[in-house]
Structures are given as C-alpha cells and as structure tokens.
Amino acid sequence: MTNRPQMYDAIIVGGGACGLMCAAQAGLLGKSTLLLERNDRLGAKILISGGGRCNFTNLHTTSDNFVSENPDFAKPIFEKWTVQDTIDFFESYGIVGKEKTLGQLFPVSNKAKDVVEVFANIMRKTQQKVRLGALVTNINKTSNGFEVHVNMDEESVVFKAHKVVLASGGLPVAKLGASDFALRTAGDMGLKIVPTAPALVPLVITGKDADWYKALSGNTVMVRVSNHRIAFEEQVLFTHWGLSGPAILQISSYWRPGERIYLDLLPGIDLAKLIKDERDAGGKRKVAQLLQAYFSKRLLEALGQILPLDIKVASLSKTDANLITAHLHKFEVKPATDKGYDKAEVMRGGVSTEELDPETLMAKKIPGLYMGGEAVDMTGWLGGYNFQWAWASGYLIAKAI
C-alpha cells in the first residue's frame, strides 16, 4: 500500500456534474482539491445526457420540480446558485444556451462534451488534481480529517484531506460506472438513507395486455398522464415491452409498484362535444374517421379492438358514446414494473436531507463530510432539473470546504 503525504483541502469522490462543479468552483476560490473518478473519463453521464447534447439546466427550476421527502430543502440552495447563475457561468466560458421544449437549455453547439471541457479547463488552470481509473474502496475519519483508500494503477493508495465530498451519484447506469458507494458509505457512517428506486424510467406491461402494447411499438401520441399524485402533459411512446417517452419518464418518479396510471389520449379536446357536433351534422362518419386526425392508423386499429369505433356516429348509442369518451380521456394502465436502473436516468431517494446542513450540505453528524448531487434525496423532473441541482449543490459545497 502506497501513502501519499499531501494534505488536500478536500477530496471529491465522483467526476460527474456535482463533483466537477465542486472541484472547479473550489479551484476558482483558491482551494486545493483532488477529484477521484473511477471511469477513464470525466462526466460520463453528462456526455450522454439529452442525446449527447446535454440539457444543462431548465428555466423553470424550483423545488416544486423535485421528488423528495423534503423538496423545500432545495429552496435556499437554488437561491444561492440560481438558473441565471448557471447560464452566466457557462456563457463566461463560451457556452451559450438555447431553449428547446419546456424550458430546457442546450448548448448552441449541441455538444455535451463542451460542457465537460469547461470544467476540465478550469481544473487545469487552477491546478486541481484529477485521478481517473480511481476506485475508492473506503473512507476513514481521522483526528485531523479523512483518509481515502483507493485502488488505482494496480495498487492501493491512501490520500488524505481535511474534508471529503461524496458526489459519486446513484445507482443508474452501471455501465457508466454507477455504484452504491456514496449510499453505502453514508449508511455505514450512520446517516439515514431514504429508500431508493429507479426514476425517470420506462414502465413495463406484462400479462394479457402485453401483446396489445407490443403491436403498437413505435407509435407516439401526446397525452396527459396522471395518477393521484400529479399529472404531466407530454408525449408517450409505445414500445414492445410497454410505455416510454417523456410523459412516462416523468410520471415514473411518482409511480409505485401495484398502482395504476391514466392516459388522457385527447388532452385539451372535449370528445363528448366532438361526438355531439358530428351527430348534429348528420353523423355520417364513423367514430374512427372522427378520430383519425388525432391518432395514427395503427393506434386507431388497436383502439378499435377494445372500443366500438367502427360505428357511424349517428348510430352510436349513448352508452357506447360514454364508453368511448371515458376510455379515451382516462385510459387505464397498470404497469407490472419498471425497466430498472440500467434504463433509468436518475435514482429516487438517497441520503436524507435531514442529515445535511442546508447552508453547506455537510453531514451534521460527521464534520467535514459533504454530500451533493444524485446521492442526496432530491430527484428532479426530466429536462435539465437534475443538472441544476448538481451545479447548485456542487457550488454550495465548494464554498464550504
């Protein structure tokens, strides 16, 4: 085992969004940090985000866009590092954001690697140390700081620092180096962990309905998806194993196994009025013809298997009209499960906010230990919200370490 005598102000475990922001901001403040990343490159999840384009923040970010036992915990943190701070920070390094749908900001270049390069450049200029291929195996509290045990270059190394930042993310996606290290370490040190689960994840349909969904694979439709907790209006994608698309990813963070979700397949359209108006005009068209402006041919055919759509509106009984209206405005779905951490964009749950000082994100029970990013119980909606949390938490920690 090799010992490295240099004493850093802080060792940052994890080279994702939070860890990179923390190291960069600490460097700009004149502090010395060592960033340890188990992958052979920095920002692995940043590089694949937004289809490789990186939706690096969302203009509409508030604590209301987060799932947590205490989402209000994020309020003062978002006041200390705002969306405008994110925009100004990246613009100062040449990255101008352009808004796509629903407040999402992407670099004009559409290249996620440009975002990662901003942090790499800052760390080089401020002489922050980075070690790639560094697998942290253990963290020990000492009388004057911490010892961080690392497997690196086929040897065991011990690094020392006054403070440690756990920014190694959560459980999605294993092939990108995700692990339970931050959760396990925090738990071993006596911190409360809110139960974790995949979030922003596709949902799986099994049983007698599976073939119906499979036959629609590739079809998309704008819906209002809801449960008893929340509703989102975005696109849903039918797949050979169930449902995906932005609407489903959003609702998945609020879904629990055994529960149902509901799809309004005609959001903003009064189908009952549409049928009445058609009937008043003579009702010569079939219900399917009335709906063909809203659905693909394949989706109409599939819906025709469970609803009387091949009837002229003039001949449609009140019972059937009510059945069609109720079904299309509240299409019931009972997912069997989700696609798991390998297909999830983020993790729900994590280190409880009860354990952290909201001014610094330091663990109240363990002076000198800080937690940020996805490992904390603060899970954002789809569309750049999780990045804003990562930048904000990384900045706050950098000021404190």
- Average per-residue pLDDT for the chain: 96
Are 33 and 135 found together in one domain? Answer: yes
Instruction: Quickly state the pLDDT bin for 154 (edges 50, 70, 90).
Output: confident
CATH number at residue 11: 3.50.50.60
Choose the final residue of a domain: 306, 338, 370. Answer: 338
Are 66 and 176 found together in one domain? Answer: yes
Are 74 and 24 found together in one domain? Answer: yes
Domain that includes residue 277, residue range: 203-338
Q: pLDDT tens digits, residue range 35-94?
A: 999 999 999 999 999 999 999 999 999 999 999 999 999 999 999 999 999 999 999 999
Choose the final residue of a domain: 309, 338, 367. Answer: 338
- Number of structural domains the chain divides into: 2
Q: pLDDT tens digits, residue range 159-203?
A: 999 999 999 999 988 888 889 999 999 999 999 999 999 999 999
Are 64 and 175 found together in one domain? Answer: yes
Query: pTM for this one?
Result: 0.94
Sign of the CA dihedral with 43 first, then 48, 51, and 52 last: positive
Q: Which two tokens stand for residue 105?
A: 């900001």
What gap in Å lies between CA 103 and CA 384, rounded to an integer? 9
Are 331 and 366 found together in one domain? Answer: no
Are 28 and 177 found together in one domain? Answer: yes
